[in-house]
Amino acid sequence: MDNFSDHFSSNLVNKKEKDNFCVQELDEMVLQISSSPTTAFVATNASIKNDIVTSVSHLHIANHPLVKTVHHAAFITSMEAELFTIRCGINQAYIKENMSKIIVVTNSIHAAKKVFDSKLHPFQSYTTAILSKLRHFFNKNHENSIEFWKCPSRLKWKFHKDIDKDSKSFNPIPTYPCKISWDYCKKSDSDDIINQWKITFQALDGKGKHFLDLLDDNFNTIKPTYTKVGPWLQIFSHSNLLCA
């Protein structure tokens, strides 16, 4: 980001401006690049239905057919979905030859800003992947650049309205509807940890020696347990095991 700080920019919608003016700006941007074979215009969007996220990106390049990319995922946040969609759109544009400029239009400009946020945050695995591609893109030619444009859904701008319709047209049906929940996911993780603990302790050379007591007061084999606290499942072990 320090080396290429002048290669990326954001075009935000001014809340004080009328919607018609914002649409006009977006239309003018598309008109300017409509005849440029070296500019890739990417529209992105994500929607949630039946606890499954649908991420869609549309890639527009002059004299080329529209390229649509669709992904479905569960157990992810809307921010992750938006970042993943932006990543897919940039990847599609990056692999095209002779591209000098990428324009990304999204209704989640806050997600795009995360890409260039150098502070620690939970989405850095996504932003690192995006920045890695952009670094290669900028290194190809020092004139290469990327722009992020904000397009609120309320504008119902044609290109974003199309992709919004696309993202909501899918009706994904989960294989196990009763299991598509955060609680089930964490419970499954906790059960896996407990089973792994049992396997590890059965093969441990030091079990039963020194102060390590593997039986409780009722002479039953001790094992970890978990309890649900709010949205989380926390794992607790026997006090003797914590000492060990």
Q: Tens digits of per-residue pLDDT, 4-16?
A: 888 999 887 665 5
Pair of tokens at residue 223: 């094992």
Under the banding of pLDDT at 50, 70 and 90, the label for residue 104 is: very high
Q: Does one domain contain both 107 and 218?
A: no
- Asked if residues 192 and 200 have their Cβ atoms less than 8 Å apart, the reply is no
Residue with tokens 């603990």: 197
Task: Mark which of 157, 177, 197 sits at the end of a domain.
Answer: 177
- Asked if residues 55 and 46 have their Cβ atoms less than 8 Å apart, the reply is yes
In a domain, 49, yes or no: yes
Pair of tokens at residue 177: 């509807």
Q: Does one domain contain both 95 and 56?
A: yes
Under the banding of pLDDT at 50, 70 and 90, the label for residue 102 is: very high
Cα–Cα distance between 115 and 131 in angstroms, integer? Answer: 7
Q: What pLDDT score does 169 carry?
A: 86
Q: What pLDDT score does 217 carry?
A: 72
Q: Which domain holds residue 74?
A: 8-177
pLDDT beyond 50 at 181? yes
In a domain, 159, yes or no: yes
Q: What pLDDT score does 45 carry?
A: 93
Mean pLDDT of the chain: 80
Query: For 39-44, what is the mean pLDDT?
Result: 96
- Asked if residues 105 and 153 have their Cβ atoms less than 8 Å apart, the reply is no
Of 111-115, 203-207, 226-230, where does mean pLDDT reach its minimum?
A: 226-230
Q: Does one domain contain both 169 and 207?
A: no
Residues in contact with 154: Cβ distance below 8 Å, sequence separation at least 6, in sequence order: 19
Q: What pLDDT score does 179 carry?
A: 53
Query: For 51-80, what is the mean pLDDT?
Result: 89
Question: Exposed/middle/buried for 201, CB within 10 Å: 0-12, 13-18, 19+?
Answer: middle
Tell which wins on pLDDT, 173 or 181.
173
Tell which wins on pLDDT, 240 or 153.
153
**Which amino acid is it at 178?**
C
Q: How many domains does the chain have?
A: 2
Q: Does one domain contain both 142 and 67?
A: yes
pLDDT beyond 80 at 183? no
Which among 160, 159, 81 has a CA at the least distance from the CA of 114? 81
Q: What pLDDT score does 214 carry?
A: 62
In a domain, 135, yes or no: yes
Q: What pLDDT score does 118 carry?
A: 82
In a domain, 2, yes or no: no
In a domain, 3, yes or no: no
Under the banding of pLDDT at 50, 70 and 90, the label for residue 230 is: very low
Question: Rounded to 5 degrees, what are φ and ψ at 239?
Answer: -55, -40
3-state helix, strand, coil in the chain (%, to 5): 40, 25, 35
In a domain, 200, yes or no: yes
Cα–Cα distance between 84 and 92 in angstroms, integer? Answer: 12
CA gyration radius for the chain?
25
